[in-house]
C-alpha cells in the first residue's frame, strides 16, 4: 500500500517509472469514497491548492484504486464533470492516460478546459460538414439556373457558393490539423494551424468570390444581355435561402452551446474570437442569405424595368458583400496569428493572485500570448520571499532536525561535513522553489482554465528604473535588495518531449483522437 498526500499525488504520478503504473494502489488523504476501478476523485487532483488544509493522517478519509496498462503521456482525462461549479469538485475523474511527463498540471478546471476544446472542435466540424453539403447543392442549382437564364446575379451567387465551399473545406483542414499532438519541432502544438487555413480561406473569398463577382458585374454593365427564365431564378433563390437558413441555424446553435459552456453571452462569444471557425461559418451563411436578397432584388428590378442594369448591379453588390466578409476574416485571423495578448482584466486577476501569495515578493515583466482559440501562454518573472521559502523548507524537513545536523557538522573534524549540509540545504531550497512554482502554476490554471502554459521565471534581483510593461504601471515593488537574493537559480529543466517513447505515444494518441472526431 502506498500512502501519498493529496498535494503530492500529481507530481508523484508524473515522476515515477513505468513500472509504477502497472499496479498502483494508493491511499490518499482528503479523498472521497471509492468510486470504482481506475478512478480518482477530484480532491487529490486539485490538491496543489490544498497544501495548507491537510488534516492529520489519523483523522483523514482515504480511497483505494487500481491502475493497470496505462501508456499515454497525458496525465488525466475528464469524465462526467458537472456544469454546476458547486458540484464540480465532487465529480469523479477517470485516472487514465498517465504518462512520463516530468511536469504535470492537474486541476479539475484545466481538465475541463481541455475537454471544452475537444467539444468545440466537434461543434466546428459539425457546422462545417453541414455548410459544405448545403453549399455544394446550392452551387450546382445556381450554376444550372445561370446557364438557363443568363443572369449575372445568379452567376455571382454561384461564385459565392463555390467560394464558401472552398473556404469551409480549408477551415475543416485547419481544425483537424490543430488537433495534432505537440512534436519535438512544434512543442506548443498546432493550435494556430486553424488560423493559417482560415487566413488562406479569407484571401480566397476576397479574390475568387468578391473579385470575380465584381468583375463580372462590371463587365455586364458594358455588355447588354437578356435575362430569361425568371421563374427558375426565384425558385432557386427561395430553395437556397431555405438551405442556407438550415446551415445558419446549425452554426448558431454551435455558437450558443459554446457561449453557454463558457458562461458568455452570444455577442461576447462572437466578438471575442473564442471560436473563429464557427463564427466564420455563421458569417458566411448570414452573408449568403443577404447575398440572396441582393440577387433577388436585382432580378426583380430587372423584371420590372426590363433593364439588365439592375442584374449587373446585384452582381457587384454580392461581390462587395463578400469583400467585407473576407476583410473581416483576414483581419481577425491576422490578430490570432500574431499572438494577441489576454484581456488586461484577466491578466490583472492572475497578477493579483500571485501578489497575494506569501512566497512572492513581487512580479514583473508579465507577458501573455494567444496560441489557440482562447488558449493562452502566460509568462512572468517572480521575485521570491526567501524567508518564506526557507521557513517552509525547514517546516517540511524539521527545524530541530536540520539544526542538529548543522551542529554535528560543525563539530565534525572533516572540513567537508559542513559543506555537505549546506549543499543539501541548497538543494532543498531549489526543490522548494520548484514546488512553489508547480503550486502557483496550478492555481493560475484553476483561476483561468484558458491559460494552457505557464512560465514563471525567477527574477535575479535587477534594479528597476520604471515600469516594465503596461500591466505593471500601477505597481511599486519597493527596494529590490530587501527581497531578492543575489544568487540566481539556474537548474535545467528537461521537458517530457525529450522522452522519445512518450512523444511517440503522444502522437499516436493524438492521431486516434483526430480519427475519432472525424
Q: What CATH number does the domain containing 284 carry?
A: 1.20.1510
Residue 506 lies in a domain: no
Q: What is d(CA 47, CA 52) in angstroms, rounded to the nearest whole number?
A: 10
Q: What is d(CA 409, CA 416) in angstroms, rounded to the nearest whole number?
A: 9
Q: Are 357 and 322 in contact (CB under 8 A)?
A: no
DSSP lists the bridge partners of residue 454 as 378
Kind plus residue range of the DSSP H or E element containing 248 = helix 230-261
> Is 102 in the same domain as 169?
no
Residue 513 lies in a domain: no
Residue 280 lies in a domain: yes
Q: What is the 3-state secondary structure (H, E, C) of 307-318?
A: CCHHHHHHHHHH
Q: What is d(CA 456, CA 378) in angstroms, rounded to the nearest whole number?
A: 8
Residue 507 lies in a domain: no
In this prediction, residue 517 carries a pLDDT of 56
In this prediction, residue 235 carries a pLDDT of 85
Helices within 367-398 (DSSP H only)? 386-397
Whole-Å CA distances, 12 to 15, 102, 377, 495:
5, 10, 25, 16
In this prediction, residue 518 carries a pLDDT of 55
In this prediction, residue 230 carries a pLDDT of 75
pLDDT in tens, the chain (518 residues): 233 333 333 333 333 333 333 333 332 323 332 233 223 333 333 333 333 332 233 333 333 333 333 333 333 333 333 333 434 444 333 333 332 222 333 333 444 444 455 677 787 888 888 889 988 988 888 888 888 877 777 787 788 788 788 888 888 888 888 888 888 888 888 888 888 888 888 888 888 778 878 887 888 787 766 666 677 888 888 888 888 888 888 888 888 888 887 788 888 888 776 777 788 788 878 888 888 888 888 888 888 887 778 878 888 888 898 898 888 888 888 888 888 888 889 999 999 999 999 999 988 889 999 888 778 999 999 999 888 888 888 888 888 888 888 888 888 888 888 899 889 888 888 888 888 999 999 999 889 888 989 999 887 665 444 444 434 444 444 443 333 333 333 333 333 333 344 445 555 555 555 555 55
In this prediction, residue 434 carries a pLDDT of 87
Kind plus residue range of the DSSP H or E element containing 125 = helix 108-149
> Is 21 in the same domain as 78?
yes
In this prediction, residue 347 carries a pLDDT of 92
Question: Total structural domains in the chain?
Answer: 3
- What residue numbers bound the domain in which 84 lies? 2-106
In this prediction, residue 462 carries a pLDDT of 57
> Is 167 in the same domain as 220?
yes
Domain boundary among 106, 134, 151: 106
Residue 402 lies in a domain: yes
> Is 76 in the same domain as 129?
no
Q: What is d(CA 162, CA 144) in angstroms, rounded to the nearest whole number?
A: 13
Domain boundary among 322, 338, 354: 338
> Is 250 in the same domain as 210?
yes
Residue 510 lies in a domain: no
Closest CA to 103 of 8, 227, 15: 15
> Is 266 in the same domain as 176?
yes
In this prediction, residue 356 carries a pLDDT of 92
Domain boundary among 320, 338, 356: 338
* 3-class DSSP assignment, residue 456: strand
> Is 353 in the same domain as 324?
no
> Is 118 in the same domain as 200?
yes
* 3-class DSSP assignment, residue 343: coil
In this prediction, residue 480 carries a pLDDT of 38
> Is 166 in the same domain as 213?
yes
CA angle 48, 60, 58 (to 5 degrees): 125
> Is 349 in the same domain as 334?
no
> Is 44 in the same domain as 131?
no
DSSP lists the bridge partners of residue 3 as 27
DSSP lists the bridge partners of residue 4 as 28
> Is 263 in the same domain as 120?
yes
Query: What burial class does residue 454 get, using C-beta atoms within 10 Å of its C-beta: 0-12 exposed, 13-18 middle, 19+ buried?
Result: buried
In this prediction, residue 377 carries a pLDDT of 92
DSSP state at residue 459: P
Amino acid at each position: 500500500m502506498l500512502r501519498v498526500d493529496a498535494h503530492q499525488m500529481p507530481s508523484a504520478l508524473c515522476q515515477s517509472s513505468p513500472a509504477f503504473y502497472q499496479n498502483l494502489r494508493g491511499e490518499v488523504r482528503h479523498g472521497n469514497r471509492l468510486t470504482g476501478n481506475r478512478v480518482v476523485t477530484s480532491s487529490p487532483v486539485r490538491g496543489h491548492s490544498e497544501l495548507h488544509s491537510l488534516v492529520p493522517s489519523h483523522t483523514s478519509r482515504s480511497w483505494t484504486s487500481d491502475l493497470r496498462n496505462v501508456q499515454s503521456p497525458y496525465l488525466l482525462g475528464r469524465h462526467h464533470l458537472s456544469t454546476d461549479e458547486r458540484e464540480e469538485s465532487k465529480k469523479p475523474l477517470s485516472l487514465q492516460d498517465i504518462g512520463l511527463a516530468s511536469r504535470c498540471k492537474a486541476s479539475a478546471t484545466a481538465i475541463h478546459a481541455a475537454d471544452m476544446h475537444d467539444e468545440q472542435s466537434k461543434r466546428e466540424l459539425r457546422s462545417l460538414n453541414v455548410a459544405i453539403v448545403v453549399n455544394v447543392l446550392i452551387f450546382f442549382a445556381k450554376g444550372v439556373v445561370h446557364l438557363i437564364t443568363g443572369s449575372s446575379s445568379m452567376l455571382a451567387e454561384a461564385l459565392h457558393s463555390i467560394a464558401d465551399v472552398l473556404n469551409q473545406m480549408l477551415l475543416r483542414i485547419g481544425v483537424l490539423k490543430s488537433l495534432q499532438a505537440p512534436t519535438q519541432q512544434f512543442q506548443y502544438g498546432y493550435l494556430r494551424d486553424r488560423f493559417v487555413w482560415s487566413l488562406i480561406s479569407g484571401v480566397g473569398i476576397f479574390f475568387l468570390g468578391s473579385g470575380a463577382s465584381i468583375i463580372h458585374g462590371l463587365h455586364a454593365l458594358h455588355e447588354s444581355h437578356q435575362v430569361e427564365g425568371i421563374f427558375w431564378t426565384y425558385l432557386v433563390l427561395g430553395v437556397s435561402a431555405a438551405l442556407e437558413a438550415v446551415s445558419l441555424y446549425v452554426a448558431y446553435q454551435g455558437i450558443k452551446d459554446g457561449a453557454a459552456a463558457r458562461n458568455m453571452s452570444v455577442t461576447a462569444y462572437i466578438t471575442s474570437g473564442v471560436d473563429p471557425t464557427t463564427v466564420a461559418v455563421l458569417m458566411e451563411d448570414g452573408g449568403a442569405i443577404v447575398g440572396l436578397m441582393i440577387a433577388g432584388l436585382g432580378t426583380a428590378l430587372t423584371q420590372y424595368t426590363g433593364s439588365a442594369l439592375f442584374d449587373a448591379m446585384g452582381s457587384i453588390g454580392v461581390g462587395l458583400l463578400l469583400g467585407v466578409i473576407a476583410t473581416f476574416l483576414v483581419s481577425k485571423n491576422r490578430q490570432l496569428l500574431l499572438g494577441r495578448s489576454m484581456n488586461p482584466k484577466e491578466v490583472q486577476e492572475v497578477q493579483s493572485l500571485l501578489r497575494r501569495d506569501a512566497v512572492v515578493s513581487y512580479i514583473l515583466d508579465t507577458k501573455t500570448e494567444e496560441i489557440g482559440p482562447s488558449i493562452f501562454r502566460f509568462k512572468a518573472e517572480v521575485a521570491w520571499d526567501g524567508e518564506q521559502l526557507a521557513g517552509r523548507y525547514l517546516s517540511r524537513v524539521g527545524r530541530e532536525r536540520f539544526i542538529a545536523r548543522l551542529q554535528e557538522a560543525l563539530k565534525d573534524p572533516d572540513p567537508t561535513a559542513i559543506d555537505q549540509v549546506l549543499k543539501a540545504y541548497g538543494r532543498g531550497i531549489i526543490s522548494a522553489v520548484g514546488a512553489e512554482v508547480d503550486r502557483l502554476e496550478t492555481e493560475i490554471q484553476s483561476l483561468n482554465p484558458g491559460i494552457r502554459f505557464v512560465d514563471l521565471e525567477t527574477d535575479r534581483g535587477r534594479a528597476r528604473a520604471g515600469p516594465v510593461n503596461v500591466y505593471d504601471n500601477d505597481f511599486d515593488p519597493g527596494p529590490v535588495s530587501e527581497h531578492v537574493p543575489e544568487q540566481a537559480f539556474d537548474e535545467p529543466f528537461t521537458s517530457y518531449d525529450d522522452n522519445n517513447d512518450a512523444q511517440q505515444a503522444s502522437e499516436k494518441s493524438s492521431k486516434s483522437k483526430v480519427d475519432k472526431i472525424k
